[in-house]
Chain A
Amino acid sequence: MNYPVWDIPAGGLLIAVIAILHVFVSHFAVGGGLFLVLVERQARRDGDDALLGYVRQHSRFFILLTLVFGAITGVGIWFTIGLVHPAATSSLINTFVWGWAIEWTFFVTEIAAAMVYYYGWDRLSARVHLAVGWIYFVSAWLSLVIINGILTYMLTPGAWITTRGFWDGFFNETYWPGMFARTFVAIGLAGLYAMWTAAAIRDAGLKARVVRLAAWWVLAAAVSVPLTLAWFLAAASGAGVPVAEIFGARGAGMGSLIAAVFGTTTSGYPVAQRAAFWLVLSAIALVAATLRAVHRGGRLGRPLAALMLALGLVAMGGGEFIREDLRKPYVIGRYMFVSGVRLPDPPGVATPPDTHVRAFGRDRFTIDALNAGGVLAASVWVRPVPDSMIAPAHYAEKAAHQGRELFRTLCAACHTIDGYLAIRPLVRGKSVEAIDGMLGRLAMPVDASGAPVAWNAPALQLKTWRGRRMAPFVGTAEERRLLAAHLAIVGGASPAAVAAPEASAGTGQKYYDANCAACHAPDAMAPFDNDGLDAAALYLQIGKLPAINEMMPAFEGTEAERRALAEYLASLPRPSKKGGAK
C-alpha cells in the first residue's frame, strides 16, 4: 500500500519459520549463558575437573550455535519483517530506534564476551573467566529485556496509543509477564540443550550428574513458564486482547489454553487453538521425556535428547504462534493492521506541522482515508487497470485484474489462494453478493459493551466476523465489489455470473445474498432449511437470530428488508437432505 507487497505466498509463514528457529536459539543464548557460568563456578569451587571439561565442551557448542545461527537469524527476522511488513517495520523503527540502539550496545558486549569467554579458557584466570561469563549473561539477558519491550508493545501498546511516548509503549501491560516468561523459557532451554551435549559424554557417572543438573533447569521452567504464561494471558486480556474469545474459553489465563486444547472448531480462532494444542501437548511430553532422561541418567542417548529438543522446538513454536495470533489482525495493536492500514489517530495525538503536511500530504493510509479515497488510488504499487477493461462489458476482466491487486494489497499478508490460510475453500461456490456482504462485516470497532464506536476511539475493541480475527475490509464500496468479484471467480464463479449483477433479484434475495448466503447457501457450511415455516413465522425468527445460534449476528436491516427477507426465505425450496440450518 504505502510500500509494495512482496508477492510471495504466505509471507507471514516465512517470518514464523525464521522467528521460531531464531527464538529457539536466542533464548538458549540467554539461559545457556547463565548455565555456563553457574556450572563453571560449581566445578571450580568443587575442584571437579570432569565437570569443568564438560562445561568447556558445552561452551564450544554454545558459541557455534548462538554466535552464528542465533545472531544471524536474528538479523534474518529483521530482514524478513522488512520485506513482508515494511510499513510495520518502518513504524517500529521510528518509534523504537533508541530501544534497538540500546539493545545493540548489549549485543556488542554479549558477542565480545562470548568470544573472550570461549577463547579465554586456557588464557584467563578463573576469576576473570567467570567475570567474563557473568558479563556475557547479563548483557544477553538485558538484550532480551529490551527486545521484550518492543515485542509486547506490538501486542499491547498501552498508553502509547494516545501519548506516543517511548516508555509508555515499552513498559506496556504485558511487559513484565512477557519478560519473566521469556527468562524462564531461556532457563528451560539451557537445560534442554545441556541434555543434548550431555548425551555425548562418555563417562557415565559424569553424564548422569549433568543430566540431573540439566533436568532441574527444565523442570524449573516447566513450573514457572505456565505460571508466567497465565499471567501474560491475563494481562493481555486486561489490556483488551480478546484472549477468551480467541481460545474459545470462558476467561483468560491458563484455563483458556486448556480450553483451547479441548475446544471445538465452532468457537475460537482455529489457528491459535491448534497452536495451543501443540504447545500444551509438547510441553507435557517434554516433562515426561525429561523424567525419562533422568531415569536413564548415564545411559541417556542422542535419540531421546534429540526428541527433547524437537519437543522444545514445537512448544516454542506453539507459544510464538499464539503470541502472533493474539495480536491478529493487528501487526501493532490498535495502531496498524497486518495489511499496513493504520487506525486514525485518537484525539490528543500530536499532529504533524504544516510544513510536513505540505511536503508529504496528509496520511493516506488510515482506514478513514482509504475508505474515502480508495486503496487503488492511494497506492503507487498497484497495477492500473488496462484501458481495454474499462468498458462495462469487460467488468469481469476488470474485476479479476483489480480484485487481484486488491487481494495482494489487503489480504496476501496472511492468505494464499490455495496454500496456507487458503482463501479458495472459503469462497468456493459463493456469489459476489455473498462475498461482498461477508467482506463488509469482517471487523467492526466496538467499545467494551459491544456498542459501535469510531475507528479512532482510544479504547476500541474489535468485533470480528465469527471471531476469526480478520482485519476490516478497507476501501471504497466499488473496490469491495471488485474484490468480491475476484474472490467469486477464485471460488469458481463464471465471468458471466460476476459480470451480471442480479438486478432482477428482489429486496429479500439481495439481503439474503449479502448477509446470509456466506454461511447458509445450499453448498455452504450450514445450508438454510425453512422447515416449512411461513413468512410470518420466519419474520419472528429473524428478530432473534443470536438467540437461535450465538454465532449469528443480529438482523441489522430495515423493517421492509426484514419482511422481504422473510418472504424470500419462505419461498426457498427445502434441501433434499437433512441437516440444514433452521
Chain B
Amino acid sequence: MIPPIPQPDPVPLPAPAWLLWVLLLLTFYLHLIPMNLVLGGSILGAIARVRARRGDRPHDAALAHLVVKAMPVLISAAVSMGVAALLFLQVLYGRLFFPSAIVMGWWWLAVIGLLILAYYGAYLLALREHSLGGVGTLLAWVIAAVVGLIALIYGNNMTMMLKPQELVSRYLSDGGGVQLNLLDPTLFPRHLHMLLGAIAVSGLAVAVVGVGRRHRDPAFGDWAVKYGAIVCGLATSVNMFAGLWWIAALPRDVLVQFMRGGMGIVGVLLAGIVLTIASAAHLMLAAGGRKPGVNVGASAGSMLAGLAMMLGTRDAVRSASLGVAGFQPVAWTAPQWGPIVIFFVLLVAAVATVWWMVRALVKAA
C-alpha cells in the first residue's frame, strides 16, 4: 500500500524545523497585515467611491482617494511578505502543498494573472483617479472582486492540502488541474471569517488614519474614526458567528485533535477572540469621543495581538488536520548555519535600509 503523502526528499531539512516554523508564522503574520488591508481596503475603497458620487460626501471622497493612493503600495507589501511565507510553507508542507496545487493547477496559476490584473488596475486608478469617472468605480469593484477571488483560491489550496487521501482520488478522477475544494464544509466559513476580519482590520486602519489627520483636517479625522469604528465593530460582531461556523464545520476528529492541544491552544483561541472584541470596543470608545488617540492606539495594539493569536489558532487547526491525515514531519536535519546567519544579518540590514528610506520619504513629505 503506497501512502498518499509523497515521500520526503532524500536530503535533510536545511534548518531545525522549529526555526522554519517560526519564520513561516512570522512572515505570514507580516503578510497578513497588508493582505487584510488590500482585501478589506479594496472593498471599503469601492464603497467609498460609490458613496462619494453624491457630491455632499467629501469624507467618502477623501477616503476613496486615500485607498486609491495606498493600494499599489499595499499590494506590493502583501506580495513581498507573501512570497517568504510561501517559501517556508513549501519547505515544511511541500509534500501536501504541491499535489494540492496540481489538482487545482489552472486555478492556482490564475492567481498570477489575477494579481497582475488587480495590481495594474490599482495603478491605473492611482494614476487616473479622477479622469476615469464611473469606469473608475467599476474598476474599484473589479479589483475588490479579483482580490477576493485570489483569497478564495488560496483558501481552496490551503484546505485541500489537508486531505491527502482525497487528493489522490481527486487527481485520479481528473488530473487536468481544474478542480476546486468548494464542497469542503470549512471552505466558505473560513473564507467569510478571513473576509470579515480583513474588513475589520481595514476599518481600524481608517480610524488610525483619522486620528493621524485630526489636527490637519478635524472634520475628516472625526468622521474617519467613527466610520472606521462602525465598520470594525460591525465586521467583528458578524465575524464571531462566522468563526463559530468555521469551528463547527471542522471535522469532528480534527476538532478532537485540536482540543488535545490542551488549555494552551484553547487559551490562544480565547485570547484571539477577546483581543479582537477589545479592539472593536476601544474603537467604539474612540468614536464616542473618549480619548480617540489613546483608544485607537489601544485598538490597533489589541488587533495586532489578536491577529497573532488567530494565526496561532489557524496553525493549530492545520496541525490537527495534518495529524488526523497521518502527516509526519521530517526530523532529519542538517542546518546550513552559514547561509542562515547571512540571512539574519541581511534581514536586519534590509529592515534598517527600508526603514531609512521610508523615513526619509515621510519626513520629506
- List chain A positions with a Cβ less than 8 A from chain B: 2-8, 18, 64, 67-69, 71-73, 75-76, 78-80, 82-83, 86, 89-91, 93-95, 97-102, 104-109, 111-113, 115-116, 119-120, 123-125, 128, 132, 135, 139, 164, 166-167, 342, 345, 350, 352-353, 355-356, 359-361, 363-365, 377-381, 383, 408
Contact = CB atoms under 8 A, between A and B. Distances in A.
Nearest to B172: A383
B361 interface: yes
Interface residues of B, number: 74
B76 A380 contact: no
B120 interface: yes
Contacts of A72: 79, 112, 115-116, 119
Given A102-B346, A352-B10, 6 more contacts: A5-B102, A6-B176, A86-B102, A90-B95, A94-B9, A360-B8
B98 A82 contact: yes
Interface in B91-150: 91, 94-95, 97-99, 101-103, 105, 108-109, 111-112, 115-116, 119-120, 123
Interface stretch (B222-230, B237-245, B272-280, B328-336): B328-336
B343 A98 contact: yes
> Which residue among A83, A128, A377 has the maximum number of chain B CB atoms within 10 Å of its CB?
A83
Contacts of A73: 112, 116
A12 B177 CA distance: 15
Top 5 nearest A-B pairs (CB, nearest first) are A98-B339, A7-B175, A86-B98, A123-B364, A76-B112
A4 B103 contact: yes
B80 A381 contact: no
B84 interface: yes
Interface string B322-365: 00000010111010101110110011011001100110110011
Contacts of A350: 12, 334
B123 A379 contact: no
B301 interface: no
Given A7-B177, A104-B83, A363 B7 contact: yes
B170 to A, nearest CB: 10
A101 B79 contact: no
B346 A105 contact: yes
Contacts of B90: 82, 89-90, 93
Interface of B: 2-4, 6-15, 20, 23, 73, 76, 79-80, 83-84, 86-88, 90-91, 94-95, 97-99, 101-103, 105, 108-109, 111-112, 115-116, 119-120, 123, 168, 171-172, 174-177, 328, 330-332, 334, 336, 338-340, 342-343, 346-347, 349-350, 353-354, 357-358, 360-361, 364-365
8 contacts: A68-B120, A79-B112, A89-B90, A89-B94, A89-B98, A112-B357, A361-B7, A381-B168
A114 to B, nearest CB: 9
B98 A166 contact: no
- Summarize A's interface: helix, strand, loop or mixed: helix
Nearest to A117: B357
B84 A101 contact: yes
A365 B7 CA distance: 9
Nearest to B173: A383
Contacts of B123: 64, 68
A361 B10 CA distance: 10
A74 to B, nearest CB: 9
A220 B157 CA distance: 46
Contact of B108 (A4, A83, A91, A119): A83
A154 B242 CA distance: 47
Given A113-B357, A128-B360, A350-B334, A75 B83 contact: yes
A120 B364 contact: yes
B86 to A, nearest CB: 8
B13 to A, nearest CB: 7
B338 A90 contact: no
A95 B116 CA distance: 30
A381 B339 contact: no
Contacts of A7: 174-177
A167 B338 contact: yes
B80 A124 contact: no
Contact of A116 (B119, B172, B342, B357): B357
B354 A6 contact: no
Contacts of B10: 342, 345, 352, 363
B342 A102 contact: yes
Nearest to B170: A4
A383 B175 CA distance: 11
Contacts of A98: 14-15, 336, 339-340, 342-343
B168 to A, nearest CB: 6
Given A68-B119, A104-B83, A380-B168, A4 B109 contact: no
A166 B11 CA distance: 12
Contact of B14 (A6, A94, A104, A111): A94
A379 B1 CA distance: 10
Contacts of B338: 166-167
A135 B353 contact: yes
Contacts of A359: 328, 331
Contacts of A4: 99, 102-103, 171, 175
Nearest to B3: A380
Contacts of A361: 7
Contacts of B343: 98, 101-102, 105
A340 B316 CA distance: 33
A164 B12 CA distance: 10
B84 A104 contact: yes
B98 A90 contact: yes
Given A4-B102, A132-B357, A69 B116 contact: yes
B364 A3 contact: no
A107 B177 CA distance: 30
Nearest to A132: B357
A414 B6 CA distance: 22
A79 B14 contact: no
Given A101-B87, A355-B331, A123 B98 contact: no
A7 to B, nearest CB: 4
A135 B357 contact: yes
A105 B87 contact: no
A124 B116 contact: no
Contact of A6 (B97, B105, B116, B331): B105
B109 A83 contact: yes
B317 to A, nearest CB: 24
A145 B356 CA distance: 24
B347 A116 contact: no
Contacts of A102: 339, 342-343, 346
A68 B116 contact: yes
Contacts of A363: 7, 10
A111 B77 CA distance: 9
A83 B350 contact: no
A269 B101 CA distance: 33
A207 to B, nearest CB: 24
Contacts of B101: 79, 82-83, 86
A124 B364 contact: yes
Contacts of B94: 86, 89-90, 93
Contacts of A94: 9, 11, 13-14, 91
B132 to A, nearest CB: 16
Contacts of B353: 109, 112-113, 135, 139
A90 B3 CA distance: 18
